[in-house]
Amino acid sequence: MKPVTISTLREMKRTQTPIACLTAYDYSFASLLDRCGVDLVMVGDSLGMVMQGNDSTLPVTMADAIYHTRCVARGVQRALIVSDLPFMSYQRNAEQALANAGRLMSRGGAHVVKLEGGAPMADTVRFLVERGIPVCGHLGLTPQSVHQLGGYKVQGREQAAAEGIRTDALALAQAGASLLVLEAVPAELAATITRELDIPTIGIGAGTDTDGQVLVLQDMLGIYPRPSPKFSRNFMTGTDSIEAAIRAYVAAVKSRTFPGPEHSFHAA
> Among candidates 124, 129, 189, 181, which has minimal Cα distance to 156?
189
Q: Closer CB to ligand KIV, residue 76 or residue 241?
A: 76
The reply on whether position 64 binds ligand KIV by CB under 6 A is no
Candidate ranges 40-48, 96-104, 118-126, 259-267; the one touching ligand KIV (CB under 6 A):
40-48
CA dihedral in degrees (205, 208, 211, 212; nearest 10)? 50
Q: Distance (Å, rounded) from C-alpha 130 to C-alpha 212?
A: 26
Measure CA 192 to chain center.
19
Q: Is 250 left (phi over 0), alpha (psi -120 to 50) or beta?
A: alpha
Q: How many residues bind ligand KIV (CB under 6 A)?
A: 12
Length of the chain as a residue count = 268
Q: Distance (Å, rounded) from C-alpha 268 to C-alpha 257?
A: 25
Q: Closer CB to ligand KIV, residue 64 or residue 183?
A: 183
The reply on whether position 155 binds ligand KIV by CB under 6 A is no
Sorted by sequence, the CB contacts under 8 Å of residue 255 that are 6+ apart come out as none
User: CB of residue 240 vs ligand KIV: minimum separation in angstroms?
Assistant: 26
Q: Which of residues 103-132 bind ligand KIV (CB under 6 A)?
A: none
Count of alpha carbons within 13 Å of 254, Cβ hemisphere only?
10
The reply on whether position 84 binds ligand KIV by CB under 6 A is yes
Catalytic annotation, pick one of 130, 163, 183, 196: 183
Provide the mask over 4-33, with x wherever binding to ligand KIV is found by CB under 6 A and - wherever it is not.
-------------------x----------
The residues with which 21 forms a beta bridge, in sequence order, are 40, 214
Q: Closer CB to ligand KIV, residue 58 or residue 242?
A: 58
Q: Closer CB to ligand KIV, residue 186 or residue 205?
A: 205
Catalytic, 11? Answer: no
Residue 42 dihedral angles phi and psi, to the nearest 5°: -110, 120
The residue from 76, 110, 181, 248 that contacts ligand KIV (CB under 6 A) is: 181
Residues that bind ligand KIV (CB under 6 A): 23, 42, 44-46, 84, 138, 181, 183, 204, 214, 216
